[in-house]
Amino acid sequence: MLTYANDNSFGRLLYGTINQTYASQLENYLSIWINNAGKVWGQCPSCPTKDGIFITCYPPTGDVLCDLYESAATLNLNYQNVSDVNRHTREIQSVGCKLAFAQDHMMELTRNYQPSLGAFVVWDGANENNEIACVVLVRSTKTSNLAHAAKALARRTNFKPPAMYSDTWPNKECFWKLLFGTKLKGRLGLFHFTQRIIKTLCTNHIDYQLAIKELLQSIYCFHEKDYKALLVALQEGKLSLNRRKYSIQEIEDMKVTSVFKN
């Protein structure tokens, strides 16, 4: 319910399961009567009706499920005397930042909300520990729609980032330095930084994969422990179904292709 908002679908599944159970019970009842008692007693007595006799309790509808969940989430009848909504809100509001934070827009999350809200995209900010510090529904990707939330984030006493990552940097650089100070260092996200270079390359060129390999190696490196374990696994034949063992030269040739990265 928190992720998919499929309360109505879940309610229909519950009702469908009950209906299928009753139909199966009725089919078994009539089959047994015909094969056994029907030969002696004649007419088959009526089977108990589904509503009110066979079934006296019904599953909740989608609206009732949502109402029950929202009611439970806002009640503080627990050991801590704090509701889930209040606790989750305070947890997000207490997230701080000392090294760097990243801000981004996500459109997929808006599918979980009613269209009547008019939410086009979700804006969020996360710190260096991948903790969400702020997330709001906005009508567009314009800075004016997220300015209020960003200003509230900047007012936190424990949120003082010296650097910020953004997919559109240096766009709106003046706005972010106005909130977090002129010493704020802006950085373009690694993916978008590499894409701005890769998209200018000719994909069908013979040295395309080689150029990408050298570009990425000049920007970042693989995790040393995982990298060495991968080389050993390739040489010992632990990654292929046919237990093929790759030579050092074959591994070097594979590094130029996208297979090695995958």
pLDDT tens digits, one per residue of 95-153:
999 999 999 998 888 887 778 788 899 999 999 999 999 999 999 999 999 999 999 99
Give the tens place of pLDDT for each residue, 17-52.
Answer: 888 888 888 888 888 777 776 566 666 667 667 777
Residue 158 CA: distances (Å) to CA of 118, 175, 181: 32, 20, 15
**CA–CA gap between residue 50 and residue 48 (Å, rounded):** 6
Helix ranges (H only) for the chain are 7-35, 38-41, 62-74, 84-93, 143-154, 173-180, 190-198, 208-219, 224-236, 248-255, 258-261
Local structure of 246: helix, strand or coil: coil
Give the tens place of pLDDT for each residue, 197-220.
Answer: 999 999 899 888 888 888 888 888
Give the tens place of pLDDT for each residue, 181-194.
Answer: 999 999 998 888 89
Provide the pLDDT confidence category of residue 158 given band limits of 50, 70 and 90. very high
51-60, Cβ contacts within 8 angstroms, sequence gap of 24 or more: 54/22, 54/25, 55/18, 55/22, 58/15, 58/18, 59/11, 59/14, 59/15, 59/18, 60/11, 60/14
